[in-house]
Amino acid sequence: MATYTPGLHVLATFSAPAAPLTDAAACQAFFDAQIQALALCKVGEAYHRFDNGGFTAVVALTESHLSIHTWPEYGLATFDVFLSNYRRDNSAAVRQLYAATLGFFGGQEQSLTEVRR
């Protein structure tokens, strides 16, 4: 019987300049472009802006989800992405999406956890 691994889940905290950490619209456009480039399928999303300029975003995917929460007053963000391996191994896509997100925000990784589900 073949062994099935459900997918890779990346959880990270990174520091970044305040400006991108307050631009939810730019983040939404970036996430949409990444989802298209990686041939993922978005099925829902929620973006919420806070009084301090930070925002939270959660994007539901048929493959699972990605999310970010920003604290511009501290120059920090938390990010997580999990992609299921149901139809294909998405491990490389998880890592690529995380690397692209760091680049988009001009982020410096503070912590990274990879969980093989």
Give yes or no for residue 51 having a pLDDT over 90: yes
Question: Percentage of the chain surpassing pLDDT 70?
Answer: 98
Asked if pLDDT for residue 1 goes beyond 70, the answer is no
- Whether 106 is in a domain gets the answer yes
Model pLDDT, residue 86 = 86
* CATH code assigned at 83: 3.60.90.10
pLDDT, tens digit, for every residue of 52-99? Answer: 999 999 999 999 999 999 999 999 999 999 999 988 899 999 999 999
59, part of any domain: yes
Please state, in angstroms and rounded to a whole number, the distance separating the CA atoms of residues 2 and 109.
Answer: 35
Q: How many domains does the chain have?
A: 1
Task: Identify the domain containing residue 73 by its residue range.
Answer: 7-116
The region, left, alpha or beta by phi > 0 then psi within -120 to 50, assigned to residue 53 is left
Is 72 within the bounds of a domain? yes
Indicate whether 2 belongs to any domain. no
Residue 44 lies in a domain: yes
Question: Is the pLDDT confidence value at 2 over 80?
Answer: no
Q: How far apart are CA 35 and CA 38, in angstroms?
A: 5
